[in-house]
């Protein structure tokens, strides 16, 4: 009887402990691969797939999201005006949506009403906070449009030349290499100025990315490449203009912005010439074309806050065709050739009791939010805080397969030079060279499968 | 001689037989998949292509009316131009119920219909000596182009414009604006009707060769999203924002007093897409096959929403102060309709249209 008692106790013990599975060790097969944003995922594959609010918002939050949505589309006009006053005097475009087409990317042209490409400018050296040193008379960004009666700071001329790439199997893809020329400056450009092209990135899923614990991002970093895989991964530490403190950079194409609030307020300020409580000075402050009006901040605090919340609560589009065998094969190869070395497949967000839908979610952003040397071909040769002239932040790949829907004509990479996902892969170099070469070594059929996988994101 | 006639007669017969309009050739069918294809074809021909062609024609008519007003500036010609503006507006607002494809991909919408008007820049432009050719207009920011600057010029604030008030600069500007608008509308129509985009073909061949839509379901979802979008735009944006703020200055199309008509036309456009036009099939035909009750609900909610606009008898700018109950009823009706489209019609499409 005693023996039986011991046996039962032992069995119960083993059984009990075996069932004590921690969430972290659940097998991958236990998760639905379509849920790129965890619970903050939206099932829609139309042109509006980037424009859905995360599920589970309470009525008040849903209303603020709605107000932010409306504000995101508002066109600004010249001050003084009864509605949306304060555009310019120099600017890049007139509303958030003009650049972030359907909350996604846009068109890589500059200076037109349909343009989504802008150029940062600086001169050698660093400012008091370690950021790029503004170009005298131009600030940190070139505004290539102006209100009537003022002059655009510059006009940009964009030309492309062919750059053929040949695969080991003999097939050829012709990339287009951009050349950017600054024309008609309203005053002399400073000697040795550096410019950097930036195409408006998609704005969904940012609440999730903002909620990834700093420790998680830093755990991906390997600045001195200790593991010898050729991939370093460097965090950018940047200046938060609102809190006036140094913080980890997460957003912007060089991870030069710490959070959504300063990203959104910065875009209002630099792209549209709209001042707010975060950036109360005009982008043209101190320049000869400054408006001299005492109407700052031009944007109501509530409007900036609602737009901030809108962006924070845009859901990630669900993946498609996740069980397709070709997509599965592509997914396997994506990891095999170590694209996932930087494009981190799975990340867990931190806890945010105020916003349960972005809290503690298992997401698939395909980014580590770190800087990587991408080689000379993609380099802008313009440092940005700790980012060197050839380093860029790993772009999140979620939603990349829907650009054809949201954008009409899709464009990829930081300046939209790539017209297809394949072209974008072939531009990878520097730390990504090994993976790119491994991709090029694959038979055509397998390369197509990698692209099919990427199109399922 | 008689024998010679026979081949000609045959040829004439073949040519005439080939000249079939799509709606007339639409066969009745019980086959759901075939019906899906017919709905897409009829939407493309009877609503999208016909709507954009009509828009283009109306843009030309507005252009002619403004040219006549420019040549002979009197109140009679001003009234004709104002009516032409409203007529074009009707067609455009109805087309806003299907804002997908080239109209969104190529930014035709903001090129034509950006709100608000930029008064300060408009005055600066008009008081300057700068050239006002079409090319100049195309270099302006969006708020200086399209419908609303024309509206401001020909209606004046509070619809009080007289022909005698029109200045030479205003007239030059309005002609260039109208030409720019006509060009945009022609481009929009051609992007549906012909190569290289030929978007009509992309929609019709959805699921069978379309490079834009791998499945028919994708177009149907785009259609339903368009319907939901316009309910939201009208009920939660254009009507609700000035209503909540009680601020007439944020009402769209205020100069012409056309706001409520615009809103109603938006929802009439929605009805056209749902029911089909000119004898063509619409979404209703698909819904009715599988779920007649849902079809009844949608139809009655559309009718209720459209009729509710008639209770708003004053110009919208004053109605937001004095007819708040009536406006709230319309906003509510649009909310109910949007909820049905979102919670029932969209899942219906996902469930039943899978090819």
Distance in angstroms (rounded) separating the CA atoms of residues A272 and A284: 11
Distance CA B347, CA B140 (A): 43
Report pLDDT for B86.
97
Q: Residue A28: what pLDDT?
A: 74
A347 at the B interface (CB within 8 A)?
no
Please state the rounded mean pLDDT for residues B344-354.
95
Of B212, B237, B249, nearest to A82 by CB-CB distance is B249
Instruction: State the first-to-last Cα distance of chain B, in angstroms, to the nearest integer.
Output: 55
CB contact under 8 A, A114 and B118: no
pLDDT band at B158 (very low <50, low <70, confident <90, very high): confident
Q: Mean per-residue pLDDT for B16-33?
A: 55
| pLDDT given at position B253 | 84
A114:B143 CB<8 A: no
Mutate to test the interface with A, among B112, B143, B231, B241 (most CBs of A within 10 A): B143
User: What's the confidence (pLDDT) of residue A21?
Assistant: 54
> What kind and span of H or E run contains A99?
helix A96-99
Percentage with pLDDT > 90 across chain B? 81
Residues in CB range of A113: below 8 A, 6 or more apart: A93, A94, A98, B107, B110, B111, B141, B142
CATH number 3.40.1260.10 given to B29-352: no
Q: Which helix (H) or strand (E) holds A177?
A: strand A172-183
- Residue A1 domain-assigned (yes or no): no
Stretch A282-294: mean pLDDT:
93
Does any domain span residue A53?
Answer: yes
Instruction: Please name which of B82, B261, B87, B231 lies closest in space to residue B155, comparing C-alpha atoms.
Output: B82
In the 8-state DSSP scheme, what is residue B239? T
Check residue B340 and give its pLDDT.
98
- What gap in Å lies between CA A330 and CA B292, rounded to an integer? 44
* Position A25 confidence tier, pLDDT thresholds 50, 70, 90: low
- Mean pLDDT score, B85-110: 94
Q: What residue in B sits closest to A80 (Cα-Cα)?
A: B120
- Please, which residues bridge with residue A176 across strands? A162
Q: What is the pLDDT of residues A63-117, one digit of tens each?
A: 999 999 999 999 999 999 988 999 999 999 999 999 999 999 989 999 988 899 9
- Give how far Cα A259 sits from Cα of A208, A238, A392, Å: 11, 10, 17
Inter-residue contact A374 to A391 (CB < 8 Å): yes
Say whether residue A49 is in contact with chain B using an 8 A CB cutoff. no
Task: Return the C-alpha torsion angle A88, B254, B79, B151, nearest 10.
Answer: 20
pLDDT at B20: 47
Q: For residue A363, is it within any domain?
A: yes
pLDDT, tens digit (0-9, with 9 covering 90-100), for A189-216: 999 999 999 999 999 999 999 999 999 9
Chain A residues with CB-CB distance to B225 below 8 A: 44, 46-48
State whether residue A81 is helix, strand or coil: coil
Average pLDDT estimate for A159-164: 98
List the structure tokens of B294.
Answer: 């849902």
* A370 domain-assigned: yes
Structure tokens at B142: 């969006």
Q: Identify the band that residue B119 occupies on the pLDDT scale cut at 50, 70 and 90.
A: confident
Q: Does residue B123 surpass a pLDDT of 70?
A: yes
The per-residue pLDDT for range B217-237, each reduced to its tens digit, is 999 999 999 999 999 999 999
Say how far residue A162 (Cα) sits from the centre of its chain.
Answer: 27
Query: What pLDDT, on the 0 to 100 scale, is given for residue A349?
Result: 97
Give domain status of residue A186, yes or no. yes
Cβ contacts (< 8 Å) between B218 and chain A: which residues? 45-46
Among the ranges given (A190-204, A361-375, B16-30), the one the predictor scored with the smallest mean pLDDT: B16-30
How many folded domains does chain A comprise? 1
Residue A292 contacts B, CB cutoff 8 Å: no
Q: How far is B202 from chain A (nearest CA, A)?
A: 13
| CA–CA gap between residue A142 and residue A356 (Å, rounded) | 39
- Across the A:B interface, residue pairs with CB atoms under 8 Å apart total 90
Residue A32 carries which DSSP code?
A: -
Query: Could B118 and A145 be called an inter-chain contact, meaning their C-beta atoms sit closer than 8 Å?
Result: no
Please choose, from the candidates B312, B304, B306, the residue with its C-alpha nearest in 3D space to the C-alpha of residue B266: B306
| Nearest chain A residue (CA) to B224 | A46
Instruction: Provide the pLDDT for residue B17.
Output: 47
DSSP A212: S
Q: Are B103 and B188 in contact (CB under 8 A)?
A: yes
Asked whether the predicted pLDDT for residue B8 surpasses 70, the reply is no
Name the pLDDT band for B249 (thresholds 50, 70, 90).
Answer: confident
pLDDT score of B250: 85
End-to-end CA distance of chain A: 60
pLDDT at A408 over 90: no
Q: Are A236 and A386 contacting, i.e. CB atoms less than 8 angstroms apart?
A: yes
The mean pLDDT value for A426-446 works out to: 98
CA distance linking residue B190 with residue B49, whole number of Å = 9
How high does pLDDT run on average in chain A?
Answer: 94
Per-residue confidence (pLDDT) for residue A12, from 0 to 100: 66
Question: What are the structural domain ranges in chain B?
Answer: 29-352
User: How far, in Å, CA of B37 to CA of B22, rounded?
Assistant: 12
- Strand ranges, E, within A251-390: 316-317, 347-348, 362-363, 371-373
Q: Please give the model's pTM, rounded to 2 decimal places.
A: 0.89
Task: Indicate if the pLDDT at residue B27 is higher than 90.
Answer: no
How many Cβ atoms are within 10 Å of B211's Cβ, its own excluded?
Answer: 9
> Mean pLDDT over residues A421-449, rounded?
98
Tokens of B331: 């906003």
Q: Which two tokens stand for residue B57?
A: 């024609």
Across chain B, mean pLDDT equals 91
Nearest CA in chain B to A102: B104
pLDDT interval class at B16 (50, 70, 90) = very low
Q: Which chain A residue shows the shortest CA-CA distance from B232?
A: A66
| Helices and strands in chain A: count of H runs, count of E runs | 12, 16
* Token code pair at residue B275: 């029911």
For B246, the token pair is: 């009680």
Using beta carbons and an 8 Å cutoff, which residues of B are at the interface with A? 100, 102, 104-107, 110-111, 114-121, 124-125, 128, 140-144, 212, 218, 221-222, 225, 229, 236-237, 241, 249-250
Q: Is residue A5 part of a domain?
A: no
A297 near A275, Cβ under 8 Å? yes
- What are the residues facing A164 on neighbouring strands? A174
| A444-450 CB contacts, 8 Å cutoff, 24+ apart | A444/A167, A444/A169, A444/A171, A446/A329, A446/A330, A446/A333, A447/A167, A447/A422, A448/A326, A449/A326, A449/A327, A449/A329, A449/A330, A449/A333, A450/A330, A450/A333, A450/A334, A450/A337, A450/A339, A450/A425
Kindly state whether A456 is in contact with chain B, defined as any CB-CB distance less than 8 angstroms. Answer: no
CA A41-A66-B90 angle, to 5 degrees, is 110
Q: Tell me whether residues A87 and B115 touch, CB distance under 8 A.
A: no
Q: How far is B352 from chain A (nearest CA, A)?
A: 16
Residue of chain A whose Cα is closest to the Cα of B349: A44
Provide the residue count of chain A.
457
Domain that holds residue A61: 27-455
Would the CB atoms of A408 and B128 count as touching at under 8 Å? no
pLDDT exceeds cutoff 50 at A329:
yes
pLDDT digits (tens, 9 = 90+) for B283-300: 999 999 999 999 999 999
* Contact state of A48 with B225 under an 8 Å Cβ cutoff: yes
Query: Closest partner residue to A46 among B124, B225, B241, by Cβ?
Result: B225
Return the residue in B105, B147, B247 with the most chain A beta carbons within 10 A, the one to mutate for interface testing: B105
pLDDT at site A57: 95
In the prediction, which pLDDT does B254 show?
83
Please list every residue in chain A whose beta carbon sits closer than 8 Å to the beta carbon of residue B250.
Answer: 82-83
Summarised one tens digit per residue, pLDDT across range A27-43 is 777 889 999 999 999 99
| Test the B interface: residue of A43, A47, A151 with most B CBs within 10 Å | A47
Task: Please give the pLDDT value at position B4.
Answer: 47
Report A:122-151 residues touching B (Cβ under 8 A): 145, 147-149
B175, B67 contact by CB (below 8 A): yes
Chain B residues with beta carbon closer than 8 angstroms to that of A291? none
CB of A84 less than 8 A from some CB of B: yes
């Amino acid at each position: 009887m005693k023996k039986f008692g011991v046996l039962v106790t032992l069995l119960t013990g083993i059984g009990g402990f075996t069932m004590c599975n921690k969430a972290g060790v659940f097998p991958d097969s236990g998760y639905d691969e379509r849920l790129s944003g965890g619970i903050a995922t939206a099932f829609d594959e139309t042109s509006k797939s980037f424009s859905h609010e995360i599920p589970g918002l309470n009525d008040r939050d849903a209303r603020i999201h709605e107000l932010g949505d409306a504000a995101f589309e508002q066109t600004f006009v010249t001050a003084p005006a009864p509605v949306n006053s304060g555009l310019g005097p120099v600017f890049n475009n007139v509303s958030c949506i003009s650049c972030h087409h359907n909350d996604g990317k846009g068109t890589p042209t500059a200076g037109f009403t349909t343009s989504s490409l802008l150029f940062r400018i600086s001169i050698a050296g660093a400012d008091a906070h370690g950021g790029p040193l503004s170009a005298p008379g131009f600030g940190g960004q070139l505004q290539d449009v102006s209100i009537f009666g003022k002059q655009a700071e510059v006009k940009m001329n964009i030309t492309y030349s062919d750059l053929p790439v040949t695969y080991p199997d003999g097939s050829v893809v012709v990339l287009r290499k951009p050349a950017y020329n600054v024309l008609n400056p309203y005053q002399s450009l400073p000697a040795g100025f550096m410019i950097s092209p930036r195409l408006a990135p998609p704005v969904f899923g940012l609440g999730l990315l903002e909620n990834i614990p700093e420790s998680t991002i830093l755990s991906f970093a390997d600045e001195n490449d200790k593991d010898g895989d050729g991939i370093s991964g460097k965090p950018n530490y940047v200046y938060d203009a609102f809190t006036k403190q140094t913080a980890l950079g997460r957003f912007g194409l060089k991870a030069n912005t710490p959070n959504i609030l300063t990203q959104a307020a910065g875009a209002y300020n630099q792209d549209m010439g709209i001042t707010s409580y975060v950036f109360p000075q005009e982008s043209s402050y101190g320049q000869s074309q400054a408006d001299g009006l005492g109407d700052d901040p031009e944007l109501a605090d509530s409007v900036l806050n609602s737009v901030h919340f809108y962006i924070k609560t845009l859901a990630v589009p669900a993946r498609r065709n996740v069980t397709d065998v070709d997509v599965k094969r592509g997914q396997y190869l994506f990891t095999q050739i170590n694209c996932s070395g930087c494009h981190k497949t799975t990340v867990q967000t931190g806890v945010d009791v105020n916003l349960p839908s972005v809290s503690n979610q298992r997401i698939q952003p395909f980014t580590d939010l770190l800087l990587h040397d991408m080689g000379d071909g993609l380099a802008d040769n313009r440092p940005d805080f700790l980012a060197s002239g050839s380093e860029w932040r790993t772009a999140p790949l979620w939603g990349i397969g829907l650009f054809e829907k949201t954008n009409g004509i899709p464009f990829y990479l930081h300046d939209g030079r790539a017209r297809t996902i394949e072209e974008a892969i072939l531009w990878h170099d520097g730390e990504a060279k090994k993976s790119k070469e491994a991709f090029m070594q694959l038979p055509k059929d397998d390369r197509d499968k990698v692209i099919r996988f990427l199109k399922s994101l | 001689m008689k024998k010679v006639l026979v081949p000609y007669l045959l040829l004439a017969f073949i040519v005439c037989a080939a000249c079939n309009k799509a709606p007339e050739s639409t066969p009745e069918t019980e086959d759901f998949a075939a019906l899906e294809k017919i709905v897409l074809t009829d939407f493309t021909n009877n609503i999208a292509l016909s709507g954009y062609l009509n828009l283009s024609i109306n843009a030309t008519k507005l252009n002619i009316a403004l040219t006549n007003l420019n040549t002979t500036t009197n109140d009679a010609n001003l009234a004709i131009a104002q009516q032409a503006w409203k007529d074009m507006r009707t067609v455009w607002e109805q087309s806003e119920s299907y804002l997908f494809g080239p109209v969104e991909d190529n930014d035709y919408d903001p090129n034509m219909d950006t709100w608000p008007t930029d008064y300060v820049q408009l005055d600066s432009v008009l008081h300057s000596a700068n050239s006002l050719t079409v090319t100049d207009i195309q270099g302006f920011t969006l708020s200086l182009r399209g419908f609303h600057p024309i509206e401001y010029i020909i209606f004046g604030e509070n619809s009080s414009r007289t022909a005698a008030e029109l200045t030479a600069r205003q007239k030059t500007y309005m002609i260039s604006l109208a030409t720019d608008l006509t060009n945009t509308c022609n481009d929009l129509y051609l992007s549906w009707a012909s190569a290289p985009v030929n978007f009509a073909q992309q929609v019709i061949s959805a699921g069978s060769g379309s490079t834009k839509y791998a499945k028919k379901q994708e177009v149907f979802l785009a259609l339903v999203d368009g319907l939901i979008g316009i309910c939201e735009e009208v009920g939660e944006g254009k009507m609700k924002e000035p209503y909540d703020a009680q601020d007439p200055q944020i009402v769209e199309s205020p100069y012409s007093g056309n706001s409520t008509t615009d809103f109603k036309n938006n929802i009439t456009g929605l009805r056209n897409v749902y029911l089909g036009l000119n004898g063509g099939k619409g979404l209703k035909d698909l819904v009715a096959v599988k779920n007649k009750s849902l079809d009844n609900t949608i139809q009655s909610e559309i009718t209720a929403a459209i009729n509710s606009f008639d209770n708003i008898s004053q110009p919208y700018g004053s109605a937001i102060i004095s007819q708040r109950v009536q406006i709230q009823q319309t906003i509510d009706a649009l909310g109910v309709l949007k909820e049905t489209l979102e919670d029932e019609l969209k899942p219906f499409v996902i469930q039943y249209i899978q090819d």
